[in-house]
């Protein structure tokens, strides 16, 4: 079985994190090895156990508290994503490790990864960084396995 995953996007408060939690429980109940990656630097209350938390790299609070930066919530989020992009190789290696954990001896049944993304619309319409960042994830999932174990997007 190839590695599968979902990148969950939508406006703030639309139920992305709740969906991740429910989907995680469902997939585990049918025997899939599943885990969640929190991609939102502002997401300080997560209704699930995560495998990777982007807040380990940077949090929105610490950026907004930085008197040199003097950024509000929206500018802070854009800045946070720039910081994360500069650490992208570390992040991608963590995602690769997650996918590998779920494999059996023959290389099948890789981990199903749910990416819980931030919801601010401007990150998708005005910010080049987040678009690039999402692309990195897809590339990561695609190339962390060999060509026979391809990636299906949908």
Ligand X SMILES: Nc1nc2c(ncn2[C@@H]2O[C@H](COP(=O)(O)OP(=O)(O)O)[C@@H](O)[C@H]2O)c(=O)[nH]1
Rounded to 5 degrees, φ, ψ at 131 are: -60, -45
**Number of residues engaging ligand X in binding (CB under 6 A):** 9
- Candidate residues 1, 18, 25, 87; the one interacting with ligand X per rule CB under 6 A: 18
**14 lies in the site for ligand X, by CB under 6 A:** yes
One of 13, 31, 72, 154 touching ligand X (CB under 6 A): 13
Structure tokens at 77: 């989020």
The string of DSSP letters for 22-35 reads HHHHHHHHTT--EE
The residue within the footprint of ligand X, chosen from 16, 60, 79, 140 (CB under 6 A), is 16
6, containing H or E segment: strand 5-8
102 binds, among ligand X, Mg ion, none (CB under 5 to 8 A by kind): none
Instruction: Enumerate residues 81-140 that contact ligand X by CB under 6 A.
Output: 119
Name the nearest CA neighbour of 46 among 100, 112, 114, 108. Answer: 114
> If contact means CB under 5 to 8 A according to the sort of partner, which of ligand X, Mg ion, none does residue 12 touch?
ligand X
Work out what residue 131 binds among ligand X, Mg ion, none; the CB cut-off runs from 5 to 8 Å by kind.
none
Give the span between the Cα atoms of 99 and 20, in whole angstroms: 17
Q: Are 72 and 148 in contact (CB under 8 A)?
A: no
Kindly compute the dihedral angle of the four CA atoms of residues 7, 98, 48, 33, in this order, to the nearest 10 degrees.
Answer: 90
With CB under 5 to 8 Å by kind, the binding choice for 18 among ligand X, Mg ion, none is ligand X
Position with the least CB separation from ligand X: 15
Binding positions for Mg ion, rule: CB under 5 A: 16-17
Binding positions for ligand X, rule: CB under 6 A: 10, 12-18, 119
């Amino acid at each position: 079985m190839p590695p599968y995953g979902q990148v969950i996007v939508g406006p703030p408060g639309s139920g992305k994190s709740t969906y991740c939690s429910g989907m995680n429980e469902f997939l585990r109940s049918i025997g899939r090895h599943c885990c969640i990656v929190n991609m939102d630097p502002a997401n300080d209350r997560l209704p699930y156990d995560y495998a990777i938390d982007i807040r380990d790299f940077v949090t929105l609070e610490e950026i907004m508290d930085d008197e040199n930066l003097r950024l509000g919530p929206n500018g802070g989020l854009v800045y946070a994503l720039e910081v994360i992009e500069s650490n992208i190789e570390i992040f991608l290696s963590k995602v690769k490790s997650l996918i590998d954990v779920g494999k059996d001896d023959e290389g099948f049944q890789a981990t199903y990864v749910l990416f819980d993304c931030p919801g601010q619309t401007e990150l998708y319409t005005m910010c080049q960084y987040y678009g690039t960042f999402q692309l990195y994830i897809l590339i990561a999932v695609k190339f962390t396995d060999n060509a026979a174990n391809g990636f299906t997007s949908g």
